[in-house]
Amino acid sequence: MSARELAERFRSPSSYANHEDISIFTQWKQNETWLETQSKQLAGSKEARLAFIGDEDLPNESIITIGNVWTRTASHASSALASIDDGGNRIEEIVPGNDNQPQTSGLRTATLLARLIRNVVADNPKGQTMFFSLVDSALKALWSTTSFALEDIDEAKLLTRALVQMLSNIITDNQDLQEKMWQNHLSLGAESEKTDTKARAPSDLVCRLLDSKDQGTKMAAQILLINMILDSKKRCLDIARNHAGANIMRSLLHDIDTSLEMDEKEEEEEEGEQVKSDGDSGYGVSLQPSVQASQERQRRYEGLGISYTLFTGLFRAGLFDQAYANLQPEQFEGSRIDGSIVSSAQITLLKLQDAYLHSGVQDYDSEMASDLQSIASSFISLANWADQTMQTTLKKGKDAAVDGRLVEVHVALILQLQCLINLAMATETTKKPTFLRVCEGCVEQIRQDDFVIKLLHLMRTTAVFSPPVSPFVPTKASQSAPAPDGHVLSSTGKAHSQSDQDANTSKRPRLDKLKRDLVALLGVIAFKRGPKDEDSVKRVQDLVREEGGLLDVLNLTQLDEHNPYIRERAIFALRNLLQANQASQDLIAQLKPIDPAQQQESQPQ
């Protein structure tokens, strides 16, 4: 067997030159058994792959002959199934699993051919170079197989998957071919601002593949991107910075977000149905997810892992800031299309960055402090908006409608706070000198006066906007009952009673965990790690005291259902704010505890 034999088997006689004549598919179909046999042999033997290529180059006309198999079969199937009636139904319908239907004739043959080429070029540089000329034909066929007419056809899905896998193998570990495909075939290297709205951008095809309903195709497209991106700082920069890259990142992030939501939903359902009664025996029977459900979840996990690897490549290269800016809410004529303050893609990117930082970064290759310092800058911008929005709502009263965008901003603020906490704590744990310098630069930035003041203002406003809810919930029967003789309600109980009344009349979102993470970050930046931190920590301590922040932190020592462990975070922050600062210690010493019983007696009847 050889590449020449392959080309000869699919050579079109002059009688089949007319592309409308589909009888050639019958001739090609006779090669299916041969294709399957050869493909299996090539997959298991590198020697067989090298022998298949041989010492001579394959003429370009032979390469075109092979590529025509994909373009002709895909184009024919797409055209045959594209016609719809007035009701929106296909005029030409097919029977699933029937390979002898004229509408999809040849798709299986084309798939087997793509699999053979995929196996030939694996770990075979000469084979990669020889068959790289097939890229244009493969991309042209993919436009057809991913069209509306074929997106739900099983035979087309298999061809799509095989073609993408073939493209991935053609450029694996081959920098020259990767750059050619990136620049010349996918046009991802240059700014792809389309002037002709009717033109099809190659990057749109990449997004189609990433958005495919077929998990195998989706994963193959992700691997194709990883093969081109991870070993190239330049191509990472293209993805993070240009318009086409933004569209690709949105597709990847949307898939990640959807997968995470599905996992959360499935986990909740499994927890709710964990045990059921086994007849009258009284024994509990653990409900295990079905084999099919487990396999689907496993495939999702694999896809998540691949996408996460791609984004960690951007983070490692110091491109988070550019990727985050590139994913801002889309605009039309200078205005944001949906009025969003932060996009869903930016929120998901923050989730991945938080996971990356939390995992313990040891492979950070960038010395650009601006990359991660952008998180603090973005936090100030979002905090200003959230602070103003909450204050406006408070002035209007409890029944005032709240800007719905506060919910998405709240999520982004939480993630930014967690990223900043991880960066600050990494100064104690990282062993990577470049990353340590970046983290220390971030800590110095968030110790600046403007950041600390904004942190305090947001913490104070949030405390009023979302008062604490005690975890000690009284029963409904006793909620309205007076305290027994000789007893008074504790301050915690009063807070709960008051918050219950507020909850009944307020339309405000709870802003879960925001106060907790705000005070946690304050505690972290007020922590002195050594002599070099003494001046900056002292400045933070004094500023917090002068701004009245010590009392705000004290108020956060109340238990709060919506801010778990906030008391511990607040106590830790107080400890760091008071350490070696006599003026702050004296201020706290002036405070006197109030006996709840005396406080109640002093209230007017």
pLDDT score for 362: 76
Q: Can you read off the two tokens belonging to residue 227?
A: 């093969």
Question: Which H/E stretch holds residue 286?
Answer: strand 284-286
With CA atoms as reference, report the closest residue to 325 among 235, 245, 225.
245
With CA atoms as reference, report the closest residue to 131 among 57, 203, 69.
57
Rounded Cα–Cα distance for residues 209 and 19 (Å): 27
Name 249's Cβ contacts closer than 8 Å, sequence gap at least 6: 239, 240, 323, 326, 327, 345, 349
Residue stretches of the chain with pLDDT short of 70: 12-22, 82-103, 190-199, 271-293, 331-338, 369, 473-506, 595-605
SS3 9: helix
Cα dist. 516→84, 147, 444, 469, 550 in Å?
57, 49, 22, 13, 15
pLDDT score for 567: 96
pLDDT score for 484: 57
Report how far Cα 322 is from the mean position of its chain's Cα atoms. Answer: 16
Cα dist. 74→10, 140, 237, 405 in Å?
16, 9, 34, 45
pLDDT score for 287: 43
In tens, the pLDDT along 558-581 reads 999 999 999 999 999 999 999 999
Q: Collect contacts of 198-205 with beta carbons under 8 A, ≥24 apart.
A: 200/143, 201/244, 202/139, 203/244, 203/245, 203/247, 203/248, 204/247, 205/139, 205/142, 205/143, 205/146
DSSP character at residue 132: G
Task: Please give the share of the chain, as a percent, with pLDDT higher than 70.
Answer: 80
The count of residues in the chain is 605
What is the dihedral angle through the alpha carbons of 368, 371, 373, 376, rounded to the nearest 10 degrees? Answer: 180
Angle at 35 (CA atoms; ends 100, 134), nearest 5 degrees: 95
CB burial readout 566-595, b (16+ within 10 A) else e: bbebbebbbebbbeebeebeeeeeeeeeee
Q: Which phi and psi angles does 566 have, rounded to 5°?
A: -65, -35
The DSSP-derived string for 527-567 is: ---SGGGHHHHHHHHHHHHHTTHHHHHHHTTS--TTSTTHH
pLDDT score for 473: 60
pLDDT score for 11: 79
